[in-house]
Amino acid sequence: MSKEYLKFFNEMRIPRFIVKQTSDGAYCVEATNQLGLDYFGSDEKQVVGQNIKKFMNTENAIHFEQSFEVAISKKRSVTIQSLPSVPGTVRVHGFYISPILDEEGNVEYLDVIGQFDVADQSIVQRERDDAISLLTSIFEVSEVGIVVTDVNARVVRVNDSFIRTFGWSRDELVNQEVISIITPDERELARRNHEEYIRSGLRSSGEMKIIRKDGSVANALYTTATLELSQKRRFQVTTVMDITLRKQMEQSLRMAKDQADAANRAKSVFLANMSHELRTPMNAILGFSEMMIKETFGPLGHEKYKEYIGDVHSSARHLLSIINEVLDMSKIEAGRIEVDEGEMDVGGLIESVMRMMDSRAFGSNIRLVTKVDKDLPNIKADQRLIRQVLINLVTNAMKFSEAGKTVTVSAYMLDDRGMQIKVSDQGKGIPDGKIEQAMEPFGQVTSGEENSTIEGTGLGLPLAKAMVDLHDGTLHIESEVGKGTDVFVTFPAYRTLERKQ
């Protein structure tokens, strides 16, 4: 520089410095005036001839480097705003960065001149600085990890939470590609996503696997957004939460559920396959005890033998009933029940079941009543299963009814051409909150106000519901303690057949 220009350069009342890019891509200060030194809070030996990274903090160095790259690539002047994190005493609004070309048109130097506001911007500047300080504080104190990357996917800033969570130091992350800490199987996808998000400005979220400093892998939930600053410089801001423990808990719960389901299926299949093995000896006991009761091959002798064999026969019938209920439920749970659908006369079926139950009702002094609509159409259903549903419901109603009470079975059409069967009793009813329990397998409930339970497996209602479900129907209960219970079985309209003329 000439003496006159050097004097002018040094005495400018605004920071100014000349920068040259070295062959290895570094940006070094060739010259600076006193206000330039004051701006950086450094002396001449610390600045002149030095890479800007040596006397600027990381944030400012990256801020200037990115602007230098734009000026060099465009070969035209650019302006940037200054950052508040400068150690010196001089404050400027921003900088003009002008490329100086050689004779061949290549950028030889960059002339960087500070930019003061022509108006008094002290209040606005203070508010701006306060806002930036606030945002910086939020960035640093956030319990969620935050990473800021540039267009090349290099880490520009990272907060303390990310460092604490994943173990990497700030020096190990800044200026490194963020994908370097992502597991190899996801790196290519992460690279493509970063390019797409920062190009299009799309917001996104998802999961990724991050390598911790100790080599372990963390499952992370991320959200990302693109931030555009002056000179159209774009950055990607990504928040990261470690969800490894949550994923492990989810996996443990899935495994526990799978094991429970497998155990339940194995139980159901085992019981379904044991049908023959369990029923055969019980049928033998029943058959031989009946022969002994009838004294087919001669008298038993002592009267006590007759009494005992009657007890054996009664107990065997009860045990066979329990075995049949357990096995039927197991078959349904194992998917081994086959529905053999055909045309079914609902009224005729109800009459048949009521005749079968009549002797038991007579012995308990319970009145059975049937109310079936005239001209009730047939439905398409498995008659064997629906017969079992009715037997279970009527048996249940009688079981909870006292002598002298009535059990009523009704059948009628609904407005949507569906059909409904209702079994009503005048028993003690089901207490509030116990209906759902009664619908669970083995879910017996206390009978009315007593503290005892009714004899049985607790499978009558669940079996009936499961068999109705096989017909795409519904079974629900309405009950009031002291007044009785109504059980509604509803078949969908598509099962109703046209009446024959």
Same fold, 142-242 and 247-333: no
Residue 424 region by backbone torsions, left for phi larger than 0, else alpha for psi between -120 and 50, else beta: beta
Average pLDDT over residues 228-252: 85
One CATH from 1.10.287, 1.10.357, 1.10.10, 1.10.1660 for 247-333: 1.10.287
pLDDT at 453: 44
pLDDT at 275: 57
Give the range with max mean pLDDT: 120-129, 241-250, 431-440, 443-452: 241-250
* Class level of CATH domain 342-495: alpha beta
Distance between CA atoms of residues 345 and 219, nearest Å: 61
Average pLDDT over residues 27-38: 91
Distance between CA atoms of residues 300 and 291, nearest Å: 11
Please state the domain extents for the chain. 3-118, 142-242, 247-333, 342-495
3-state secondary structure 83-127: CCCCCCCCCCCEEEEEEEECCCCCEEEEEEEEECCCCCCHHHHHH
Specify which residues 21 forms β-bridges with. 27
Q: How confident is the model over 271-321, as pLDDT tens digits?
A: 666 655 666 677 777 787 888 888 887 787 777 777 878 778 777 776 766
What is the overall mean pLDDT for the chain? 83
Average pLDDT over residues 429-456: 61
pLDDT at 449: 47
pLDDT at position 413 over 90? yes
Q: How confident is the model over 157-177, as pLDDT tens digits?
A: 899 899 999 999 989 999 999
3-state secondary structure 367-409: EEEEEECCCCCCEEECHHHHHHHHHHHHHHHHHCCCCCCEEEE
- Band (120; pLDDT cuts 50, 70, 90): very low
Place of tokens 């990473």: 147
To the question of pTM greater than 0.85 for the whole model, the response is: no
Return all residues near 377 (Cβ < 8 A) that are at least 6 apart.
413, 419, 496, 497, 498, 499
Q: Which residue has the higher pLDDT, 335 or 215?
A: 215
Average pLDDT over residues 192-208: 88
Enter the CATH code of domain 142-242: 3.30.450.20
pLDDT at 300: 78
3-118 has which fold?
Answer: Beta-Lactamase (3.30.450)
DSSP label at 182?
Answer: B
- Band (222; pLDDT cuts 50, 70, 90): very high
pLDDT at 463: 82
Place of tokens 């209960």: 477
- Band (330; pLDDT cuts 50, 70, 90): low
Average pLDDT over residues 26-42: 90
Specify whether the CB–CB gap between 220 and 209 falls below 8 A: yes
Q: Which residue has the higher pLDDT, 432 or 98?
A: 98
pLDDT at 452: 43
